[in-house]
Amino acid sequence: MDVIVRLHDPKRLAELKRAIFSLVTQGYRPLTINLVTQRFSRGETEAVVAGLRPLLNLDPDVKLDVWNFAAEEPEDARSALLNFGIESSKGRYLAILDYDDVIYHDGYARLIRELQESGCAIAFGKVVMKFVDVFQDAIICQRQQNRFKGDGLVDLFIDNFCPIHSFVIDRERVDNEVMSFDEKLDKLEDYDFLIRICATHLSSFKLKDTVVGEYYAKNDGSNTIMLSSAARVTHLAAWTRAREAIERRRRSALVSREVQAALGLQTFDPQMSVRNLIDAWSAVSNKRSNIGAI
Amino acid sequence: MKALGFTGERFTSAIEGQIEFEHIHRYLMARDLCRGKDVADIASGEGYGAALLSQVAKSVIGVEIDHGSVAHATQSYPYPNLKFVQGDARKLPIPSASIDIVVSFETLEHFFEHDEFLSEVVRILRPDGSLLISTPDRDVYSPSGRPANPFHVHELSRPEFLELLDRHFSEVKVFRQRPLLGSVIAAEQSRGANLITYEKRGDDHLEQSSGVPRALYSIIYAGKSSLLQSEVASSIYIDTDRVDLPALQVAEARAEAAAARAEVAVARGETVTAQLQYEEVKRQTDEHVRALSEELRKRQKRIRDLERRIAQLSEQTRLDRGIGIDDLVAVLKKHPLLYKASRVFWWTITLQLKRRLVERTRLKLEFEKTRQQARKIVAAKLFDQQSYLRQQPKLAKTKPSELDAAVHYLTIGSKKGKRPNALFDPKWYAATYPEVMASGMEPLVHYLQRGSGEGRKPNLFFDPKWYASEYPDVIESGMEPLAHYLTFGSAERRKPDPLFDPTWYLAEYPDVNKTGLDPLAHYLAHGFPEGRAPSLEWIKSNNEKRAKALGLTQSLRSAKIAVGIVTYNNPPEDLTRCLNSVHIALRELGEEGESAVFLIDNGDPSAVDISQFPFLTRLDPVGNVGFGAGHNRLMRAAFTDSKTNYYLALNPDGMLEPGAISALLRMAQGASDGALVEGVQFPVEHPKTYDPIEFDTPWASGACLLIPRRIYQSIGGFDESFFMYCEDVDLSWRAYAAGFRVKICPRALFFHPTHDRSFDLQVHARFLAAGITLSRKWGGNQFEKSLMEQGAKHGIDLSRIPQVEPVSEVPSVVTFDHGFHFARARW
């Protein structure tokens, strides 16, 4: 199994250590951490590796590879970092974890077991949101909310309720052409990725109520999702553009035959886009049991 | 004379069957002892027993606490040598040394002061007097699973009963009584007297005989040896099933009767209330009917007058006369259903009108009072109409006056938590000052009339006293400080509180300017929930406090640490992982060579490769002595070395983050070794609350807990009354009680796996037992009760949990209001 961890700021070592500690505690082996950094100097990379070394000593079977994205463009290389990580990952199973989130110790083992039992290409678990205060010397969890709510695939197409660390992909069951993030996007890139992969491949939401990890909503404005009023003012236009791009994706991504069949559609419609599917679902929303969660 | 009614407990002559057998038999036994003597029957009840004794005694005095029973007995049994008096068994209304024999059956179990009662008995007895007393044997009468007798407050076991009597009397002879259904075989006694039979042979016929009278059968045991007869004992054959079943039914009947009595009491109360309500309604209705009748009479007269006038006019104009009310009634009476419907309609209308008039008057008075209050808050400039209407768009559409909007706030908005101005938060105010709710006053009215003058804050960051002293012109203006800030201070960028800096806030968060809100209003509505800071002073102040609490403001002193692990059949790979993490954490600390790890197996010997961990010391196992007892053994061994400064209790299935021990040590040393310090469980934190600046927490988990030697020497280790669970809560509360603190270290991560476990009865029973012990020790009576109920629900026997000595001084952190969290939960 490979886990891609992206890191943009070498000062965020304390949060990264929590994420890596959660990976070291995973029950699934073998496990390789592909840490992808964004334009780090050699000294910064060495400092990060030195900081993580004691953690890795806890289990020699957990391997750490550090990959530094050195290109000047794009400025925010979040999608490029993920693609860089995917290219560097060789294992069958793939997961992604941001430097400031954590995964529960049996999260990956459960999701992989579900992939093996269901034959799906991607399996989702539940992630809870923790509101944390980040200080230089401590991270304090203040409260917890169940913000990511959804029942299954159609809900995912309507709005993203699956954070980037809520799923594991079986690469043997996924076509290579969809295994990349759109580098033109610096927001909602993970949602765009999920729409493409889930429109064409079978997905499992059987573990949608099983908590596999935590998403840290931080008080210092370093989250990429819209949390603060400051973020709202500054990034409103960028968010609007990202949402428009997602809607274009919904209209262009076609739902495959096997996904339509899994959703219970009797007749295959080769022209059915994700948007068409959502509209059809809305029209029969009172008959949700016929179409929706897999 | 009618017998006294059965209450479910006391035996009266109205009761037959099992209870009758038990009580009559005891009184017949007593009767033989009372011949020619002065007798006192304590708790004489309905009086039948004392009456029985009076047939042979010189005198009998029955003492009974219930006035009704005394009156009944006096009237029912008017014998010259018998009298009944009202009195308490614990303070008998009988002169000292005046009684030969005291009889008291089934009395003790109804109160707690047993020694007090027996002292009173001794006082009234003559020197050679005696006592015949009975009480149910708790071990037999109230075994686990049988419904408790709701009238009994303190039942005694046989040993306890005997011990009690031994304290007051030098000679004690014990008899045992039980009901039976069966057969008796008794040897014929030539000298008689060893077996007496009391036989009820009719309603008014009791017969006493020696041996077994009217035996249906004779049994002879014959032989040639003279010793033969002594080998045969008299015997009783009992059919238990056919006796205990009725006994159980009696117990259940008692419980049902108690419940029924409670229902009757409630029903009686309801009946009285209903009667009063009925009378009030009837009075109002009669009054209204009188008024309506008068009105009707006037109108009928008016109709008659009009009819006459119409008739006159008709006569004059040769038109037909119109139909009158009497004609209408006459017509309706020809159609009974229509007539009935008309009457119902008429009465419904008139009654509703009456009710509505009364309600309207009440509302009018309340409304006038509210308007007066609204005028005051408007005059004090504490009501901002625009701000309020922004929160109430529907109301805004009606374009109310300022006074009407203020009235709306007082009557509706306040209850919904709407703010009367940008800075007064009625919800926060009521929650912060609970006495406001108790006063029944609306929060803003309370603030204006009392709170402001008393220095109470209207929100988290407005200090009216500080504001008034910081800006002397506020007092000169005669305005209430918050009103002054809203009117002038905000625009002048004055500070509302020493820790809120509007100028800094606007500079730090430029987006606030675009909102047009007052900086403090923005902070309260948006900044605080988003985790923004109110001022640089606040950040600095909190950072300094936090760093100090974490022990980061001082250098780490060298220390010898002993890590203690208690295992119970843990998988070897888990234990190896845990030990490896300890090894790495000690190495990171730089104290690897100095420190030690102690391990004890409460279960099977752990299969770990010791050669990997040369620092490991294994104590000889002593069986499964429990979690706390295991750690106590390790702690004793660890602190035997005088150089050991700290003991770190660690669960074997977890794993330390490499910097965890260092972080724990820093925090302990930051608190001068006066705090228990817990590592944060990762990644699933325990939800119990803690202070985000000082990191004090109501209790610390024993999964990863640093115990400084200083605290161990003061309060010792875990209380071994707890086998498993809650011992850490107890240790924490003992630490608080001894003046120490308990902290959680957010920098010390301890991986603690959580598993989805199905319900395990044994684990649940241990949880309940631990919770009950904790409750008994720290005064959680209600919690104990709820746990006992849980146990009963699952069929868990919790009757054998040993009693523990209650703690006399309970620290304020102790709470049983949050279930097994024992603290307010963050989520």
Whether the per-residue pLDDT at B251 is higher than 60: the answer is no
Contacts with B658 from chain A: Cβ below 8 Å = 54-55, 57-58
DSSP state letter for B137: B
Mean pLDDT of A218-227: 59
| Smallest CA–CA distance from A23 into chain B, residue | B683
Average pLDDT, stretch B158-185?
A: 84
Most confident of B153-157, B605-609, B700-704: B700-704
> Is residue B573 pLDDT above 70, yes or no?
yes
Q: Do B104 and B62 touch, CB atoms closer than 8 A?
A: no
Distance separating alpha carbons of residues B744 and B86, to the nearest angstrom: 62
Total Cβ atoms within 10 A of residue B485: 27
> What average pLDDT does the structure give for chain A?
90
- pLDDT band of residue A290 (cuts 50, 70, 90) is very low
Token duo for residue B45 = 């009840």
Q: Percent of chain A scored above 90 by pLDDT?
A: 74
The string of pLDDT tens digits covering residues A80-97 is 999 999 999 999 999 999
For the cut 80, the answer to whether the pLDDT of residue B473 exceeds it is yes
SS3 A35: strand
State residue B342's pLDDT score: 77
pLDDT at B334 (0 to 100)? 78
- The answer to whether residues B102 and B121 touch, using CB atoms and an 8 Å cutoff, is yes
> Is residue B149 scored above 80 in pLDDT?
no
pLDDT at B25 over 60: yes
What pLDDT is recorded for position A234? Answer: 57
At B261, the pLDDT band (50, 70, 90 cuts) reads: low
Integer angstrom CA distances of residue B36 from A93, B32, B39, B68, B498: 100, 10, 9, 29, 90
Residues above pLDDT 70, as percent of chain B: 87
Share of chain B above pLDDT 90, in %: 54
Residue B297 has pLDDT above 60, yes or no: yes
Residue A2 pLDDT grade (very low, low, confident, very high; cuts 50, 70, 90): very high
What is the per-residue pLDDT for B356?
Answer: 78
pLDDT average, residue stretch B616-639:
96
Question: What average pLDDT does this structure show over B348-357?
Answer: 74
**How many Å lie between the alpha carbon of A43 and the closest alpha carbon of chain B?**
22
Sign of CA dihedral A83, A85, A88, A94: negative
pLDDT of residue B206: 73
pLDDT for residue B742 is more than 60: yes
How many residues are there in chain B? Answer: 827
Q: Which residue has the higher pLDDT, B602 or B436?
A: B602
Strand pairing category for B704-708 and B675-682: antiparallel
Residue B735 has pLDDT above 60, yes or no: yes
pTM score, whole prediction: 0.62
Residue A27: half-sphere exposure toward Cβ, Cα within 13 Å? 18
CA–CA distance, B211 with B268 (Å, rounded to integer) = 52
- Average pLDDT, stretch A244-269? 95
- Of B741, B822, B749, nearest to B779 by C-alpha is B822
Residues of B in contact with A54 (CB under 8 A): 584, 588, 658-659
Q: How far is A240 from chain B (nearest CA, A)?
A: 19
pLDDT score, position B148: 63
Give the best-scoring range by mean pLDDT among B81-95, B534-548, B657-671: B657-671
Is A229 within 8 Å of B687 when comparing Cβ atoms? no
Question: Per-residue pLDDT for A186 more than 90?
Answer: no
- Nearest-neighbour CA in chain B from A141: distance (Å): 9
How confident is the model over B455-460, as a mean pLDDT?
A: 93
The arithmetic mean of pLDDT across residues A123-149, rounded, is: 88
Give the pLDDT score at A287: 45
Q: Does B543 touch chain A (CB under 8 A)?
A: yes
The stretch A261-281 carries a mean pLDDT of 93
Per-residue pLDDT, B269: 56
The reported pLDDT for the residue numbered B311 is 73
Residue B467 in this model has a pLDDT that exceeds 80:
yes
Across the range B37-60, mean pLDDT stands at 93
Which residue, among A140, A211, A233, would best test binding to B if mutated, counting the most B CBs under 10 Å from its CB?
Answer: A140
Q: Mean pLDDT of all residues in chain B?
A: 86
Q: Mean pLDDT throughout B383-399?
A: 92
* Residue that wins the pLDDT comparison between B236 and B443: B443
More confident residue, A196 or B145: A196
Distance CA B770, CA B787 (A): 10
Side chain identity at residue A119, one-letter code: G
Q: pLDDT class for B2, splitting at 50, 70, 90?
A: very low
CA distance A10 to chain B (A): 19
Yes or no, beta carbons of A229 and B526 under 8 Å apart: yes
> Cβ B546–A138 below 8 Å, yes or no?
yes
Over residues B216-229, the pLDDT tens digits come to: 777 776 666 555 55
pLDDT of B457 higher than 50:
yes
B780 or B184, higher pLDDT: B780
pLDDT, position B231: 60
